[in-house]
Each structure stands twice: as structure tokens, then as C-alpha cells.
Amino acid sequence: DTAVSQTPKYLVTQMGNDKSIKCEQNLGHDTMYWYKQDSKKFLKIMFSYNNKELIINETVPNRFSPKSPDKAHLNLHINSLELGDSAVYFCASSTPGTIYEQYFGPGTRLTVT
């Protein structure tokens, strides 16, 4: 009964490849987020979707494209991967009733070689 799940947990790939990370939440939340945690543990928001609509889009390269097929899913597709994309990517969710409490997934460690 995992609240926020991500797949895969680890992803190792070569430069130039295209990859996707999937996120699903079973909490009934309507807002979902993607965060990037770099090698120094710094966390920065990338995107946020509310009811399948993009509401936050920080300065992220166009190679990153979030896709929200429904309120329970927010996937992250990355084109033409670069070495600098290596990081841990976290998905999170919240709802207006608990907007001040974001629930985080376990993270996906992406390594680009």
C-alpha cells in the first residue's frame, strides 16, 4: 500500500539516450511534483501539476518533459541525456486539504555515463 511509488529505483544509461521515470500515487491527491536532488543533496523543484495541468515549471531544459495522463500519475521523460542529468529524482504529491504536506516517493537514482 505504497503511497507514492516510482519506477525504476535505479537507472543507468549512456549519454544521448532517452529515458522515462514513472510516478504513481494512491493517496487521491490532485497535485504532483518532480524534484531533482544533486550530488550535494540540494533539492530543487522542477515541475508541478495540478489536476493534470502544469502549474510550476522552473528553469529546466526543454529535454525534460513531464506527462500527466491522469491525476494519479506524473511521468518524467528526458531526451538526449547528459552527464549533468545524473541525480536522484523525487516525485511528490499533495492535495488542497494537505497542501502543506507533500508526500515523497523513494526516489530514482539516474546515472548517465
Partner 1 sequence: AQSVTQLDSQVPVFEEAPVELRCNYSSSVSVYLFWYVQYPNQGLQLLLKYLSGSTLVKGINGFEAEFNKSQTSFHLRKPSVHISDTAEYFCAVMGAGSYQLTFGKGTKLSVIP
Rounded least distance, CB 63 to partner 1, Å: 22
What Cα–Cα distance (Å) separates residue 57 from each residue in 8, 24, 64, 65, 66? 23, 20, 11, 10, 10
- Nearest residue (CB) to partner 1, 8 versus 16: 8
The radius of gyration of the chain from alpha carbons, rounded to an integer in Å, stands at 13
Residues of span 79-108 touching partner 1 by CB under 8 A: 90, 92, 94, 99-102, 104-107
DSSP state of 102: P
Cα–Cα dist 27/93, whole Å? 8
Residues of span 9-68 touching partner 1 by CB under 8 A: 31, 40-45, 48, 50, 55-56
Rounded least distance, CB 91 to partner 1, Å: 9
Q: How many residues bind partner 1 (CB under 8 A)?
A: 23
